[in-house]
A and B are shown apart, each in its own frame.
Chain A
Amino acid sequence: MNPAEPNTQTAVTLSIDGREVTVPEGQTILAACTAAGVETPTICWAPNLTPVNVCRVCVVELEGSRTLVPACSRPVEAGMQISTDSERVRHSRRMVLEFLGSANDLSQASEIADWSRHYGADPARYDAPCSDDGSPGSTAGGEAGLEPERVDEPVRIQDDLYIRAYDRCVLCYKCVEACGDDAQHTFAIAVAGRGFDARIRTEYDTELPESACVYCGNCVAVCPTGALQFRTEFDLRAVGEWRPDDQTVTRTVCSYCGVGCNLELHVQDERIVKVTSPADHSVTNGHLCIKGRFGWEYVHAPAFEPPSTDTAER
Chain B
Amino acid sequence: MFGFGGGTSSYEEITETDVVLLWGSNAREAHPIFFHHLLRGIDNGAAMYAVDPRRTSSAEFADVWLGLDVGTDIALANTVAREIIAQGLHNRSFIEHATTGFDDYAASVEPFTLDEGERLTGVPAEAIAEMAHAYATAPRAQILWTLGITEHHTAVENVLSLCNLALLTGHVGRWGSGLVPLRGQNNVQGGGDMGALPDRLPGFQLLSDPQVRARYESTWGCELNPIPGKHLTLMFDAMEEGELRALYVIGENPADSEANVAHARKLLEGLDLLVVQDISLTRTARMADVVLPAAAGWASSEGTVTSSERRVQRVRAAVPPQGDARDDVRIISELASHMGVQWTATSAHELWDEMRSLSPLHGGMSWERLEASGGLQWPCPHEDHPGAEFLHSWLWEPGLDGHAPAPFSTVVHRPPAEALSEQFPLRLTTGRVLDSYNTGAQSAGYSSPIRSGDAIEVSPADAAQLEIVEGDTVRVSSPRGSVDMEVHVTDRLPTGLVFTTFHFPDLVDANLLTNDAWDPRSGTAEFKAAAVRIDPLRDGASRQAVAAGGAGG
Contacts and interface: CB of A to CB of B under 8 A. Distances in A.
Interface of A: 1-4, 158-161, 181, 183-185, 208-209, 213-216, 248, 250-262, 265, 267, 270-272, 281-285, 287-292, 294-307, 309-312, 314
Interface stretch (B116-124, B181-189, B262-270): B181-189
21 contacts: A2-B176, A181-B43, A185-B36, A252-B298, A252-B314, A255-B186, A255-B297, A259-B31, A267-B318, A283-B307, A287-B33, A288-B33, A291-B436, A298-B444, A299-B296, A303-B323, A304-B293, A307-B444, A309-B447, A310-B506, A312-B507
A4 B314 contact: no
B299 A252 contact: yes
Given A260-B305, A299-B300, A314-B507, A265 B440 contact: no
Contacts of A213: 450
B536 to A, nearest CB: 18
Given A251-B316, A258-B184, A267-B318, A216 B32 contact: yes
B249 to A, nearest CB: 15
B319 interface: yes
B299 A296 contact: yes
A256 B448 CA distance: 15
7 closest cross-chain pairs (CB), A and B: A260-B307, A258-B183, A303-B323, A298-B445, A289-B32, A250-B318, A159-B449
Given A254-B298, A307-B440, 7 more contacts: A252-B318, A258-B31, A259-B32, A261-B33, A302-B322, A303-B324, A304-B280
Contact of B322 (A267, A287, A294, A301): A301
A226 to B, nearest CB: 20
B188 to A, nearest CB: 6
A307 B445 contact: yes
Contacts of A303: 293, 322-325
Nearest to A264: B318
A283 to B, nearest CB: 6
Interface string B429-468: 0000011110011111111111000000000000000000
Contact of B448 (A4, A158, A215): A215
B175 A295 contact: no
Contacts of B186: 253-258, 260
Given A251-B316, A272-B299, A314-B507, A257 B36 contact: no
B235 interface: no
Interface of A is mostly: loop
A265 B437 contact: no
Contact of A258 (B182, B323, B442): B182
Nearest to B38: A185
Contacts of B12: 1, 282
A255 B187 CA distance: 8
Contact of B308 (A4, A216, A259, A305): A259
Contacts of B176: 2
B380 interface: no
A260 B434 contact: no
B319 A271 contact: yes
Most chain B CB inside 10 Å of its own CB: which residue of A215, A251, A281, A283: A283
B229 interface: no
Given A2-B16, A304-B293, A253 B323 contact: no
Most chain B CB inside 10 Å of its own CB: which residue of A1, A181, A252, A295: A252
Contact of B313 (A159, A214, A262, A312): A262
Interface size class of B (residues with CB under 8 A): 35 or more
Contact of B311 (A181, A260, A299): A260
A295 B433 CA distance: 14
B543 interface: yes
Contacts of A255: 186, 296-299, 442
A128 B435 CA distance: 49
B111 to A, nearest CB: 37
Contact of A256 (B322, B324, B437): B437
B323 A302 contact: yes
Nearest to A309: B444
B300 A250 contact: no
A298 B279 contact: yes
B30 interface: yes
B318 A265 contact: yes
Most chain A CB inside 10 Å of its own CB: which residue of B308, B316, B319, B440: B319
B504 A214 contact: no
A257 B436 CA distance: 11
Nearest to B486: A314
Interface in B106-126: none
A209 B452 CA distance: 11
A184 to B, nearest CB: 7
B33 A284 contact: yes
Contacts of B299: 252, 255, 265, 272, 296, 299
B305 A253 contact: yes
A256 to B, nearest CB: 5
A2 B14 CA distance: 11
B316 A310 contact: no
Nearest to B307: A260
B291 interface: yes
B392 to A, nearest CB: 14
A18 to B, nearest CB: 36
A295 B315 contact: no
Interface string B312-346: 01111111101111000000000000000000000
Contact of B446 (A183, A185, A296): A296
B184 A298 contact: no
Interface string B534-553: 00000000010000000000
Contacts of B281: 304-306
B440 A282 contact: no
A218 B118 CA distance: 42
Contacts of B437: 256-257, 291, 295
B309 A185 contact: no
A36 B91 CA distance: 51
Contacts of A300: 319, 322
B472 to A, nearest CB: 15
B322 A290 contact: no
B445 A283 contact: no
Interface string B285-312: 0000001010011111000011111010
Contact of A290 (B314, B389, B435): B435
B34 interface: yes
Contacts of B316: 250-252
A219 B291 CA distance: 41
Most chain A CB inside 10 Å of its own CB: which residue of B183, B186, B306: B186
B236 interface: no
A21 B445 CA distance: 52
Nearest to A258: B183
A248 B374 CA distance: 20
B94 interface: no
A249 B298 CA distance: 14
A209 to B, nearest CB: 4
